[in-house]
Amino acid sequence: MKWVALAIIACVIPYTWITVKYRKDAPAYQPYEDSKERANVMRLLEAGYQRIRVSAERPADPQQAIQRMTAPVTASPAPGGIPQILADTLVETPTLPLTFSSVSAPGETDPLLPYPIAFASKLEDGKQQVGGAHVFLRDESLVIIPQLERLDNNLSARAKENPVVITIPGGLLKTGRYTVLLAGSEQSQQWIVEVR
């Protein structure tokens, strides 16, 4: 029996050392996820969309970010869901927040400056939060789809309304008048922004 234990130890130690030394840092190849992502990109490009992923910030005092915005817009309610053209293009329909209790964004911006948007979304339960957003740009329309992420283990969000700030990078919007849609499942928000 001691020879079996010795053989196991003699194999496990070198195997562990080799595995740790030569392990790749990158995530493992996931053929289904990678193929789905590639198909999604190709379909978006064929439909004329440009997709930008932006991260969500959770400021301690969202009112400070809102007060820094020049000429804030008044967002108006729009029908819930993703526009049909974009919905037909996406490989998989994302889960959306139910609705938005508040939206703040500048009504005017410079093409070279980042464009911040602050919003508070109502979610189905306290087990998810807004982790970022995908911005879909086509001609002079922007569709913003918040990306919901599940919280790990037994964690819960502090409130069912999560105020976040997302920032569209500078240089993305060219001079013009854009219609912006912040997509929710029950009700969306829509406004116009002038880029000069």
- Averaged confidence pLDDT in the chain: 87
Instruction: Specify the amino acid at residue 184.
Output: G
pTM, full prediction: 0.79
DSSP characters over 137-154: EETTEEEEEEEEEEPPTT
- Domain range annotation of the chain: 49-195
pLDDT digits (tens, 9 = 90+) for 36-57: 888 988 999 999 999 999 998 8
Whether 186 shows a pLDDT value over 70: the answer reads yes
Mode of pairing for the β-strands spanning 141-150 and 115-122: unpaired
pLDDT digits (tens, 9 = 90+) for 115-159: 999 998 888 777 788 889 999 999 999 999 999 888 776 665 555
Strand partners, 16: none
Distance CA 103, CA 118 (A): 6
pLDDT, residue 149, reads: 85
